């Protein structure tokens, strides 16, 4: 048998080379893939580092400063890079850049949003060993904390309201008080020896830096613990109160402005009158009307009958006549100039007046003119038309014992037609600084009924004293003698910020929409009985009837977020107090005509508190032990307990005053929040200076926090600041810039 041997060397060698090359290609592919994965991992790590560096930059640069920002601010420009730090190998961790904050208004809530942004940069080498930037950015949205977040807030845990001089008792929290939501005071909370307040689940208490809690024998620390035994008390920096800066922002954002100080001049010849504004909410909008009033005492002005003398010149004047004089013109002659028609010169700027000592009836008024003082105001008005002029007199001289010559300033003239006084036109001259005594036709026309301070130029009505709304215009709003603005309906916009400048406001009605009402702290005016004395009216908001949302329940409760919530909201920001007026609807006269007050609103009383109108009451003489509860004390005005008008009010039109032994008005039912400088009284009785047996004068309290306020605050509602000017912010959103809504 033959053995055949073949030569395979030519086949084995190529195959070996093939497998070597295949292995090499697989190795290269593997190494290439591994290298790509390494580069990808390096890039991903760099992205994470860039994100962390961006966060670090935001926290280090912006977060500490954002509370002091008042507008768009750049902390680190986009072309700047600041090294964040180095690792253990002294390699840079990254850089942050383009850190800024801008402010915008959330159109849904009218809250200011602080949008902070930061960029992180990490350098790595690419596959070509070139340096490239890996960048990531983060954002954070902050929103100022508003006063609506507090169910209860006081700057000082002290009482406010008349009487003033150390007789106003003391306040504490006891068994009749229920607290929920967020509670804060910059002062010290005192607890009663006769029962503890109820803290609803989820409540929290914060105290200012100098605040505290005075516990009692009945109430210890356990009442401020949650269900797990943890304290719900926190100490934070004092919150600035009153929030004047942020209230100024509210006024600046007003969508409607109603002027109530247009009749207040403080200087010049025109007398001062105040204006009351009444706002009644209704479906789809609100009604507004205004009327003027003068605070007593009101005097009878001295009015003299004269005629206009348009022919005499120089220092001549006809008997019973009066005319103007302009120094520098021939014979001082001055007449009304009707040209140019679109802006007539009129009388120009006269600087003298010449008048006869004898009035139109021939009565010698020499003594009246001789005794007039420099700075006195004079008004001249026609008896035949609506023309009038006014001026202030300076020095005067008697001429020939039958006329007087006065320098004048602050001259003004008003006429519905383009003409001056006609020769021999009948006029009356009103000496505004002189009077013929108190006007007997004005009810309660005495200083003590309206002022609980000394009748002295150095004293004025205080925020914690008597306040009044029941002037004639309230009872006769259509009387042309008082009417300034007839009832006018305003359709509501998406939201309304209503600013009442220089006056008080009455509110009531059914709120359909989103509103804030804001007033000034106070307005000063010259008193009617003595224009040289200046007094004050505080910017109070008076609740004259229920104020409730259109979708609230019959009992006044507001539908809470867990049950669908309510989109209606009202903010009341009073420069003075928020007062429950003594009206029939509010339960006045011991609930003879009505009972209870419902308020759906977030309320701020800048100066001083949220309180009832207890100093106007129907308590009979002799019921109070000691001083009377319903009448003023002229000899000790600061300790007056009543304004003397309560027994005449809510009387069914009966002109004869009638009293009661109680003036309990029911409950004040609040769904919202209460913020005040000091704690206002809702009820007075024998526990204080009003020595009336319980229940006494005023209301029981039923306060409930409206949790809708957390999501939908009143438009442009005041926000919190600390003493060093920082805005207190809460974080609303945070994340990667690419994920920002």
Buried/exposed 94-110: b ≥16 CB within 10 Å, e otherwise: bbbbbbbbeeeeeeebb
| Centroid of chain to Cα 196 | 33
Write the CA distances from 236 to 64, 184, 206, 245, 605, integer angstroms.
17, 10, 7, 20, 22
pLDDT in tens, 408-443: 999 999 999 999 999 999 999 999 888 889 999 999
CB atoms under 10 Å from CB of 358, counted, come to 19
DSSP conformational letter for 60 = I
Do 632 and 647 touch, CB atoms closer than 8 A? no
Radius of gyration of the chain (CA): 38
Number of Cβ atoms within 10 Å of the Cβ of 683: 22
Residue with tokens 């479906």: 283
2-16, 50-64, 442-456, 462-476: least confident range = 2-16
Distances (CA, A) of 372 to 136, 270, 397, 433, 521: 81, 17, 11, 8, 35
Between CA 282 and CA 75 the distance in angstroms is 48
Which of the 8 DSSP states describes residue 173? B
Q: Say what the pLDDT of residue 698 is.
A: 96
pLDDT of the residue at 11: 61
Task: Give yes or no for residue 334 having a pLDDT over 80.
Answer: yes
The residue behind tokens 């640069």 is 61
670's tokens: 């609040």
pLDDT tens digit sequence for 274-303: 999 999 999 999 999 999 999 999 999 899
Looking at residue 127, what is its pLDDT?
75
629 pLDDT higher than 50: yes
Supply the DSSP symbol for 272: P
Q: DSSP label at 482? A: T
pTM (two decimals): 0.86
Query: pLDDT tens-digit profile of 180-218?
Result: 999 999 999 999 998 999 999 999 999 999 999 999 989
Q: Of 231, 228, 175, 241, which is closest to residue 205 (Cα–Cα)?
A: 231
CA pair distance 365, 313, nearest whole angstrom: 22
What is the mean pLDDT of the segment spanning 89-114?
A: 90
DSSP string, 296-315: SP-EEEEEEEEEE--S--TT
Q: Are 270 and 381 in contact (CB under 8 A)?
A: no
Task: Read off the pLDDT of residues 131-144 as tens digits, 9 standing for 90 and up.
Answer: 888 999 999 999 99
State the Cα angle at 468 between 463 and 469, rounded to 5°.
130
Instruction: Find the range with the poorest average confidence among 52-56, 169-173, 616-620, 696-700.
Output: 169-173
């Amino acid at each position: 048998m033959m053995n055949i041997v073949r030569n395979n060397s030519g086949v084995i060698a190529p195959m070996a080379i093939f497998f070597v090359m295949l292995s090499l290609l697989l190795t290269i592919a593997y190494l290439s893939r591994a290298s790509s994965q390494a580069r990808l991992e390096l890039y991903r790590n760099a992205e994470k580092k860039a994100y962390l560096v961006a966060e670090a930059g935001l926290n280090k640069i912006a977060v500490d400063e954002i509370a002091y920002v008042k507008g768009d601010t750049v902390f680190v420009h986009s072309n700047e890079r600041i090294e964040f730090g180095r690792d253990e190998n002294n390699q840079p961790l990254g850089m942050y850049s383009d850190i800024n904050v801008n402010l915008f208004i959330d159109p849904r809530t009218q809250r200011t949003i602080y949008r902070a942004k930061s960029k992180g940069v990490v350098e790595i080498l690419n596959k070509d060993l070139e340096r490239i930037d890996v960048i990531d950015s983060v954002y954070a949205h902050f929103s100022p904390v508003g006063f609506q977040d507090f169910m209860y807030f006081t700057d000082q845990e002290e009482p406010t309201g008349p009487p003033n001089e150390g007789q106003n008792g003391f306040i504490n929290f006891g068994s009749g008080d229920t607290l929920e939501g967020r509670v804060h005071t910059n002062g010290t909370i005192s607890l009663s020896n006769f029962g503890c307040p109820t803290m609803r689940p989820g409540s929290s208490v914060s105290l200012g830096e100098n605040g505290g809690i005075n516990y009692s024998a009945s109430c210890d620390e356990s009442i401020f613990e949650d269900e797990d035994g943890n304290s719900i008390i926190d100490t934070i920096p004092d919150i600035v109160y009153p929030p004047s800066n942020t209230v100024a922002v509210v006024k600046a954002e007003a969508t409607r402005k109603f002027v109530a100080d247009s009749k207040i001049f403080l200087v010049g010849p025109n007398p001062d009158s105040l204006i009351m504004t009444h706002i009644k909410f209704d479906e789809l909008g609100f009604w507004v009307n205004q009327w003027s009033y003068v605070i007593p005492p009101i005097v009878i002005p001295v009015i003299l009958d004269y005629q206009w003398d348009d022919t005499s010149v120089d220092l001549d004047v006809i008997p019973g006549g009066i005319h103007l004089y302009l120094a520098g013109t021939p014979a001082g002659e001055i007449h009304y100039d009707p040209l140019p028609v679109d802006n007539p010169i009129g009388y120009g700027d006269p600087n003298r007046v010449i008048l006869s000592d004898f009035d139109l009836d021939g009565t010698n008024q020499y003594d009246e003119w001789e005794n007039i003082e420099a700075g006195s105001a004079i008004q001249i008005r026609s008896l035949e038309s609506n023309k009038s002029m006014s001026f202030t007199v300076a020095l005067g001289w008697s001429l020939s014992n039958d006329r007087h010559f006065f320098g004048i300033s602050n001259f003004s003239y008003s006429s519905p037609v383009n003409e001056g006084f006609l020769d021999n036109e009948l006029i009356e001259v009103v000496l505004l600084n002189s009077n013929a005594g108190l006007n007997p036709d004005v009810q309660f026309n005495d200083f003590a009924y309206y002022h609980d301070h000394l009748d002295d130029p150095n004293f004025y009505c205080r925020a914690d004293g008597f306040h009044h709304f029941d002037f004639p215009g309230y009872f006769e709003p259509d009387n042309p003698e008082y009417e300034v603005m007839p009832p006018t309906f305003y359709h509501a916009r998406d939201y309304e910020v209503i600013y009442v400048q220089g006056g008080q406001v009455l509110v009531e009605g059914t709120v359909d929409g989103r509103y804030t009402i804001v007033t000034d702290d106070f307005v000063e005016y010259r008193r009617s009985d003595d224009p040289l004395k200046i007094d004050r009216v505080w910017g109070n908001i008076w609740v004259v009837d229920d104020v409730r949302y259109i979708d609230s329940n019959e009992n006044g409760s507001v539908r809470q977020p867990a049950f669908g919530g309510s989109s209606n909201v009202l903010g009341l920001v009073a420069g003075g107090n928020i007062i429950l007026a003594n009206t029939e609807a509010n339960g006045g006269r011991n609930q003879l005509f009505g009972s209870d007050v419902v308020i759906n609103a977030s309320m701020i009383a800048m100066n001083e508190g949220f309180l009832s109108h207890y100093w106007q009451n129907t308590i009979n003489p002799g019921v109070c032990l000691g001083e009377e509860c319903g009448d003023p004390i002229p000899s000790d005005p600061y300790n007056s307990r009543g304004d003397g008008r309560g027994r005449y009010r809510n009387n069914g039109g009966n002109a004869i005053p009638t009293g009661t032994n109680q003036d309990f008005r029911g409950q004040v039912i609040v769904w919202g929040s209460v913020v005040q400088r000091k704690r206002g009284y809702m009820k007075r009785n024998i526990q204080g200076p009003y020595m009336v047996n319980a229940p006494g004068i005023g209301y029981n309290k039923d306060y409930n926090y409206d949790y809708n306020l957390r999501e939908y605050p009143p438009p442009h509602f005041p926000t919190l600041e600390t003493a060093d000017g920082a805005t207190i912010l809460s974080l609303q959103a945070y994340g990667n810039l690419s994920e920002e809504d």
